[in-house]
Chain A
Amino acid sequence: SSELTQDPAVSVALGQTVRITCQGDSLGTYYASWYQQKPGQAPVLVIHGLNKRPSGIPDRFSGSTSGNTASLTITGAQAEDEADYYCSSRDSSGIHLVIFGGGTKLTVL
């Protein structure tokens, strides 16, 4: 089955730009979706499809895909962006089951 690989932790200075990546074979077929999760809260969808943001998600969040790597970029990171971020896709073989990356802990310095 497919896996999605994320860096466990990333840090960014306040106001700077940070990219969080997600690698996996399935990303050549299923575009990644990205979720933000703050402590004690349910995950929140921040990016899906071709760089689409749900209502209420700031436009400093953007997404892109190149080959088997998906990226979530935060341009001008804010203190409130400190959270865990998960990518998700579906296994492109078999019956297309949902898969999650291991998550990236983003620290805003």
Chain B
Amino acid sequence: QVQLQQWGAGLLKPSETLSLTCAVYGGSFSGYSWSWVRQPPGKGLEWIGEINQSGSTNYNPSLKSGVTMSVDTSKNQFSLSLSSVTAADTAVYYCARGTVTTWGFFYFQYMDVWGQGTTVTVSS
């Protein structure tokens, strides 16, 4: 049974850098995309971006620049860095495993395994 375990600093000051890491246990790291999703207090889910085992990334263009994702396949871990945080970056951050498959002209995509979430608060 695949599990994602995430960790990182939970309290930051404005302009600091958010750093989170997610470790994959009990399953293959290859063949999937690895995403970060956040949820501001009382609001919905917001996709931040994804990375695959090769280190290829896609980021949400609606987020400000400063998002960086990296992968360490030797440890089955991937990480998120968000620089120059502001109060607007206060949220619960989740890591998740993603899959995309094709069926004729259609695609299926889903995130079937999620980390436990990390609450990040940005406050002076």
Contact = CB atoms under 8 A, between A and B. Distances in A.
Interface in A15-43: 29-31, 33, 35, 37, 42-43
- Most chain A CB within a 10 A radius of its CB, from B44, B60, B61: B44
Interface in A39-94: 42-45, 48-50, 54, 84, 86, 88-90
A71 B110 CA distance: 15
Given A42-B115, A50-B103, A98-B50, A90 B109 contact: yes
Interface stretch (B15-23, B65-73, B74-82, B93-101): B93-101
A103 B50 CA distance: 21
A88 B110 contact: yes
B44 A89 contact: no
Q: Is the interface of B mostly helix, strand, loop or mixed?
A: strand
A49 B60 CA distance: 23
B111 interface: yes
A49 B58 CA distance: 22
- Most chain B CB within a 10 A radius of its CB, from A98, A102, A103: A98
A48 B110 contact: yes
B116 interface: yes
Interface residues of A, number: 29
B94 A103 contact: no
Contacts of A89: 109
B107 A29 contact: yes
A63 B109 CA distance: 14
Given A42-B116, A43-B94, A90-B100, A99 B111 contact: no
Given A90-B100, A95-B58, A102 B44 contact: yes
Contact of B106 (A30, A37, A43, A95): A30
B116 A33 contact: no
22 contacts: A30-B106, A30-B109, A33-B109, A33-B110, A35-B111, A42-B114, A42-B115, A42-B116, A43-B45, A45-B112, A48-B110, A49-B101, A49-B103, A49-B108, A54-B112, A86-B45, A88-B109, A97-B60, A98-B47, A98-B109, A100-B45, A100-B47
Given A49-B110, A103-B45, 7 more contacts: A37-B45, A48-B108, A90-B107, A90-B109, A98-B109, A100-B37, A100-B46
